[in-house]
Amino acid sequence: MIWTVELASYLDDAPWPATRDELLDYADRIGAPIEVLENLKEIEDSEEVFESIEDIWPDYPSDEEFFYNDDDDYN
Report pLDDT digits (tens) over 5-38.
Answer: 999 999 999 999 999 999 999 999 999 999 999 9
* Contact yes or no for 74/41 (Cβ under 8 A): no
pLDDT band for 69, please (50, 70, 90 cuts): low
In a domain? residue 10: no
- Residue numbers of the domain that contains 37: 15-51
Query: Please, what's the b/e burial string for 27-43 (b: 16 or more CB within 10 A of its CB; e: otherwise)?
Result: beeeebeeebeebbeeb
In a domain? residue 37: yes
- Domain total in the chain: 1
In a domain? residue 62: no
The pTM of the full predicted model, rounded to 2 decimals, is: 0.81
Residue 24 CA: distances (Å) to CA of 42, 68, 69: 11, 34, 37
